[in-house]
Structure 1
Amino acid sequence: MNLYDKIKNREEKISLIGLGYVGMPIAVSFAKIAEVIGFDISKEKVELYKNGVDPTKEVGDEVIKNTTVEFTADETKLKEAKFHIVAVPTPVNSDHTPDLRPVESASRTVGRNLTKGSIVVFESTVYPGVTEDNCIPILEKESGLKCGVDFKVGYSPERINPGDKIHRLETIVKVVSGMDDESLDTIAKVYELVVDAGVHRAASIKVAEAAKVIENSQRDINIAFMNELSIIFDKMNIDTKAVLEAAGTKWNFLKFSPGLVGGHCIGIDPYYLTYKAEQLGYHSQIILSGRRINDNMGKYVVENVIKNLIKANVPVKEAKVAILGFTFKENTPDTRNTRVIDIYNELNEYGITPLIADPVADAEEAKHEYELEFNSLKDIKNMDTIILAVGHDQFLKLTQDEISKLFKEGSNNTKVLIDIKGILDRKEYEIAGYRYWRL
């Protein structure tokens, strides 16, 4: 009986290494049809899962309470599994070079507990070549086993979209690859157990790695184009959102919107690709141009905050500013690589320390990563400027009367309202006299 059949018959186990926004939902999905070990180096996170708490809010507490995943921070439990899935983050360093330490550390952990006949599948986003050039040597060194003889390796890029309840593991076509035909067939069949949308068998591991890294690079470039258009149209006194709505009536117009580009994928993956390109002697032009535009959008937003404060005759250094939303996207607690921090830091340059309210964000994570303390929305009052930075559902429900109560009393033309996501009715607030601005 082969490994696929043994997994299907619950005779062999699957392990998930990394129980974050990607790894945990994968573990939960596989646990419906197989025996699953969920490993994470964070004992605190593991304890939350064991107690039926979902800190990611990706599947919810009830699902965590009822799942059969064996959550553990004991790496030796990985010896019980024969099919390992590595889903750890791959961030960038401060100089925008890839930080491979998490995936290399995970490789060492798996290697120390690898047994003959196993398959290791990496899901972490990397540039082409990392799986074979970096991870395999670590697995061999730590295990004393020979890749291709004692164990096999594959790559299947994650496509889970945090906070998205429609595009899930089960509903997105899964790209899979293996080091040879045998491993590819096994990996494909194992993922087909849970991926209803089916799998795409990539020609090689490098092809699968490249496919993932260009998916987000493409989105990054398209958003950069929208951001550049926003800057141009603002100078022309034209509403960008209105332009995009008009252009979007054409069947083949790509519907992207301007905004802050953060998170652990779109704002990071392009740097993985350009890093590898530069190693090969090619300096990216389009990709890095897009990155420069997107990386500077926080500064651009604050420049417009300051302009509007001056127009409202509000002394800049004395201005009271509040930011609503801090996560990298709506309806997720994830604050990793949020570009709202750029707005916060840039306001500090002008002597303004804004209050931040985000009822969805992981407050502990923000405190640890950015040394920031959040305020309750109830604490936001007597403001000169409100920056709507993230389109959480709670913010979408705010009425004009509720928003008005966040400001100082007085004429509306002294109230600066910055709607980064364009979630409010522009005409409604302009008619009411607000100094309304959006990308």
Structure 2
Amino acid sequence: MHDIKAIRDNPAAFDQGLARRGLAPLADELLRLDSERRDHLQKLQEAQSRRNTLSKEIGDAMKAGDKARAETLKGEVASLKDFIGSGEQVERDLTARLTDALVVIPNLPLEDVPDGKDETGNVEMRRWGTPPTFAFEPRQHFDIGEWLGQMDFDTAAKISGARFVVMKGQLARLERALAQFMLDLQTGANGYTEHYVPYMVNDASMFGTGQLPKFAEDLFRTIDGRWLIPTAEVSLTNLMREKTVEEKDLPMRLTAYTPCFRAEAGAAGRDTRGMIRQHQFSKVEMVSITTPEQSRDELERMTGCAESVLKALGLPYRVMRLCTGDMGFGSRMTYDLEVWLPGQNAYREISSCSVCGDFQARRMEARYKPADGKGTRYVHTLNGSGLAVGRTLIAVLENYQNGDGSVTIPEALRPYMGGKDKVTRP
């Protein structure tokens, strides 16, 4: 959420940031709401001050035996009391109107984020690895999995509907192996602390990370009003909600392996076959909590941690810096990792790493005490996939496929697969 004081201090910069996001100017309307609220607050404060003064004057009049004046003053106090009582509700209404206007506005991009309307404006930063060549026409993951007899979309559709999958045997184990390998790498070499977190959260948690109120249609809700998490970012970041930590405890680096649930409301007609875009998938998520001074360097570090998984698995990829028109709602800058998929002859997203500044922290009231002991400040939050497990499985199947239909298991995963070196058809 944006700081209205910062908007007051520099409305032009705020509107310039919105323009880079492709949005119309909003500073004037926000400042009008803010001015109305502040003017009303001033009137309330003046009324409360006047009531306090009158109470003292009533006491003085009573002591002086001037009952007539005392009664006159009591009448004025009664009027002020009525104004203050109704005025407090007006204050709440004005504050709610301003808050409602602020919470649906996306974060502002950092200066070095490239401008652009959509993914065509993204900028490639670097590549790693060489896409494999094949003596045969490479197949897509769903053809590989179905030929192996271990990936079943028809049965999943019978059980749950579209955008679900059933895997079994070696493929089910390979999916589990990938998750364990990622967790071991992120908690070991990369220094993240593993967490087991709730998969269902309340409104305040979804609001804190920016999913509510704007993206309710993209979420699944339970009958008792909770929400299924679209990513462990929600649960992990909300560990800081309404907390204040010491600067010496930052940065905090957190990770969790969870299922994720997304309605994919805006994805009609996209990736309808296969595992690229599903309602239920698993992911190893990374979250960092930092000081403002640390956050930009932490984004580079987090992106490197996500890259380390792909490097260990020998999967070619590229790093893209997203443009202003393709960034997520809460991000100030995002790097996407796109893995090479031979079956599609294309790079596809497998991780997004974003720095959010204090955008989420303001919504969550997440703060830290600076080492100099002067007050408190909002933390900065970051999140990234380390990695999306299903999409990594897709990349392994397509990059390590063989002409006989089998799939070679990357060496890094073989200890998790009982020493097996191939996934084969039973």
Tell me the TM-score normalized by structure 1: 0.25
Structure with greater strand percent: 2
Q: Which structure is larger by alpha-carbon Rg, 1 or 2?
A: 2
Tell me the TM-score normalized by structure 2: 0.26
User: Which has the higher relative contact order, 1 or 2, with Cα contacts under 8 A spaced 6 or more apart?
Assistant: 2
